Amino acid sequence: MDIWGLLSGDRPAFLDGAMGTELIKRGLRLGDPPELLNLEGPEKVLEVQRAYVEAGAQVLLTNTFGGNRLKLRRAGMEEKLEEVNRKAVEIAKEASEGRALVAGNLGPTGEFVEPYGTFSEEDLYRAFREQAEVLASSGVDLFVIETMSDLREVGAAVRACREFGLPVAASMSFEPAGGQFRTMMGVKPQDAARALEEAGADMVGTNCGGISPEEIAGVVVEMRKATERPVFAEPNAGRPKLVDGRAVYTLPPEEFVEGMRKVAEAGAKLLGGCCGTTPEHIRLLVRKLG
């Protein structure tokens, strides 16, 4: 089964849920990159991913969201780039035991393109291409690019992933803005969907952001007006609440799934969870909507 097989049914298909917040529960220190555990605590990553497969996830995302050179450099892990990405694919394949596809996960570089920052689009493209090459040669089934807010950065990521002949899913994060939605960089959902398709994404989507699953349904409606590509959605476990200066996500599985029902009705074909979602969220999601 490939991703197109999963998407061909009448029912939605299912991605996994959060990795970062699950690793924090298992001892990842705040401030440490989650990718560090691919090397120093692979059994923890494996445990989280096995729980998602048990819950019914059909696509596992590798623990490589911050595995590009620019992000790893700031974490002091630049020289571990190849090892971190390769190991992450091995762990996800072990967890899947052939029951789930393995998606190479790419997130933002954390750098801004000129004139807001010092990097060119070409610099970002090279960083994404380098990571995607390791993921592809390690045997991922597809790529999932997430949590993007800048069209130039996500465009560079999509083009880089396209080089390897695998399906590419690309997702941006939206915030509520006066009854509508915008990314941090001011991009609207319809413009995002159009640009992602033009860059060559096979699936376009939305994840994370300061919005609830119900609000994500509104983003999906907007995206579908602008593209025929399958749309996917991975909301957080509700809007973040600030506790002791950091964001926490507390929406329980039942309410998460109620919101996701609306996301599915809005036409999203591939459903999963972002920050704060757990194997319990995915289990109930699969049971109710699968």
The least CB distance from residue 275 to Zn ion, in Å, is 3
The least CB distance from residue 234 to Zn ion, in Å, is 8
| Number of neighbouring beta carbons within 10 Å of residue 69 | 16
The least CB distance from residue 123 to Zn ion, in Å, is 25
Handedness of CA 278, 280, 283, 288 (dihedral sign): negative
Q: Which is nearer to Zn ion, 131 or 173 (CB)?
A: 173
- CA atoms of 9 and 177, how far apart (whole Å): 34
Q: Which is nearer to Zn ion, 6 or 274 (CB)?
A: 274
The least CB distance from residue 82 to Zn ion, in Å, is 26
Which two three-digit tokens encode residue 205? 């989507």
Q: Which is nearer to Zn ion, 208 or 219 (CB)?
A: 208
The least CB distance from residue 149 to Zn ion, in Å, is 12
Burial of residue 118, with CB atoms counted within 10 A of its CB: 0-12 exposed, 13-18 middle, 19 or more buried: exposed
- CA atoms of 110 and 174, how far apart (whole Å): 17
Q: Which is nearer to Zn ion, 257 or 274 (CB)?
A: 274
Binding-site ranges for Zn ion (CB under 5 A)? 208, 236, 274-275
The least CB distance from residue 274 to Zn ion, in Å, is 3
Distances (CA, A) of 86 to 81, 82, 91, 99: 9, 6, 9, 20
Q: Which is nearer to Zn ion, 61 or 275 (CB)?
A: 275
Question: Which phi and psi (to 5°) does residue 101 adopt?
Answer: -75, 155
Q: Which is nearer to Zn ion, 233 or 275 (CB)?
A: 275
Distances (CA, A) of 54 to 47, 50, 57, 283: 10, 6, 7, 8
The least CB distance from residue 236 to Zn ion, in Å, is 5
**Residues 262 and 255: beta-carbon distance below 8 Å:** no
- At a CB cut-off of 8 Å and minimum separation 6, what does 59 contact? 3, 6, 13, 14, 15, 16, 100, 101, 102, 103, 142, 144, 270, 272
Q: Which is nearer to Zn ion, 22 or 123 (CB)?
A: 22
**Residues 39 and 80: beta-carbon distance below 8 Å:** yes
The least CB distance from residue 273 to Zn ion, in Å, is 9
Angle between helix axes 81-96 and 121-137 (nearest 10 degrees) is 50
Q: Which is nearer to Zn ion, 36 or 274 (CB)?
A: 274
